[in-house]
Chain A
Amino acid sequence: QVQLVQSGAEVKIPGASVKVFCKTSGYTFTSHAIHWVRQAPGQRLEWMGWIHTGNGNTIYSQNFQDRISFTRDPSASTAYMELNSLRFEDTAVYSCARDRGLQYYDMDVWGQGTTVTVSS
């Protein structure tokens, strides 16, 4: 079945970077884009951006424009999210989610989430 499996929890100090992977299986990786969404404690879901898994094109939320990078490795059916210059307020659960296609901008299958804690 379709699965998105993410890397494990991370604890980082302010100013560091974190890289989360999202390994997919059960479908053709390049037929569905990948979104990244985060949820800070007590907050609503926040869309971080999207990567076209075929050509690697990206759209980033302006909230993260200068600090974020999405990449993908089609040979490994895996997408990656790197967030730099971490702040305390970046403490959140980060999730990858599959687009229903390449550009529907809805999300039909989600990863289990990766908790990132920013603490000194």
Chain B
Amino acid sequence: DIQMTQSPSSLSASVGDRVTITCRASQNIASYLNWYQCKPGKAPKLLIYAASNLQTGVPSRFSGSGSVTDFTLTISSLQPEDFATYYCQHSYSTPVTFGQGTKLEI
């Protein structure tokens, strides 16, 4: 199975900050990388698919980049509603796997 490793595991930031979360795959996954936002008690939300494509309805302050094994999720200017846990997930092959999550805290 392909292993996904995120860093950092947790991150403290303030409203208005620029934040970057990284995700590394254990092997080449081309651009088959997706990012999700999770909040307690709510359904996860797809933010970015295929490494850099913004899902419909997601604010443009979210962006994704990378390919092969190294990927980043960037939030250009943090808003109060962005404090959540973020997961990367590869969709290169089955089984798909997720990173361990990055908890973004105030």
Binding site for B on A (CB under 8 A): 35, 44-47, 50, 59, 61-63, 95, 97, 100, 104-113
Residue among A44, A97, A104 with max Cβ neighbours from chain B (10 Å): A44
Set of chain B residues within 8 Å of A62, measured between Cβ atoms: 95
CA distance A107 to B36 in the complex (A): 9
Set of chain B residues within 8 Å of A111, measured between Cβ atoms: 43
- Is the pair A106, B98 in contact by a Cβ cutoff of 8 Å? no
Set of chain B residues within 8 Å of A50, measured between Cβ atoms: 94
- Quick one: which of A59, A100, A110 contacts B44, CB cutoff 8 A? A110
Q: How far is the CB of A91 from chain B (nearest CB, A)?
A: 17
Main secondary structure of the interface of B (DSSP, over half): loop
| Chain B interface category by residue count | 20 to 34
- Is the pair A108, B55 in contact by a Cβ cutoff of 8 Å? yes
